[in-house]
Amino acid sequence: MTAIRSVILVGLFSAKERDHQSRLDALQARVIALGGQVLDRFVQRRSVSDGGVRLMSAPLSRRFLIRPGKLAEIAATCASKNIDAVVFINDLSDYQRRWLADRLERPVLTQADLDRSARGLPTPSRSPHGAGRGREPRRRHR
């Protein structure tokens, strides 16, 4: 896989969170410091609707990743701008990362991935298609 240079930032934020733009600004600065270029940013506000207000402080789940409309917007932007990877400000489970990578057809990173990297944007070792499915072969110790 080639090095990651162009990215889209995505943040899922509670409607109560007022400083979400400054958090995205800090993530963008981190991407730039690692040699990447941010070509777009997307924000999914959670619990803005009447039905979701009661769930605002609940942890993220499979149901609350990204709504289908927002996912379609992100996927279209990835395709039109030839994006190398999508970086989420939120922590994601392995399931969420695989699910998003499959639908966006490119690697999905998190802020934590960037924080662990000191020399540039991390390059995933496997393609997003099929990544993490099944088990890794066991190595025998002799």
Reported as a single tens digit per residue, the pLDDT across 1-33 is: 457 899 999 998 877 778 889 999 999 999 999
Give the tens place of pLDDT for each residue, 42-52.
Answer: 998 876 555 55
**Per-residue CA distances from 128 to 77, 80, 90, 102, 136 (Å):** 18, 19, 18, 6, 15
Q: Which of 37-46, 59-68, 78-87, 109-118 is the most confident on average?
A: 78-87
DSSP state of 72: H
Report if pTM > 0.85. Answer: no
Q: What's residue 48's pLDDT?
A: 56
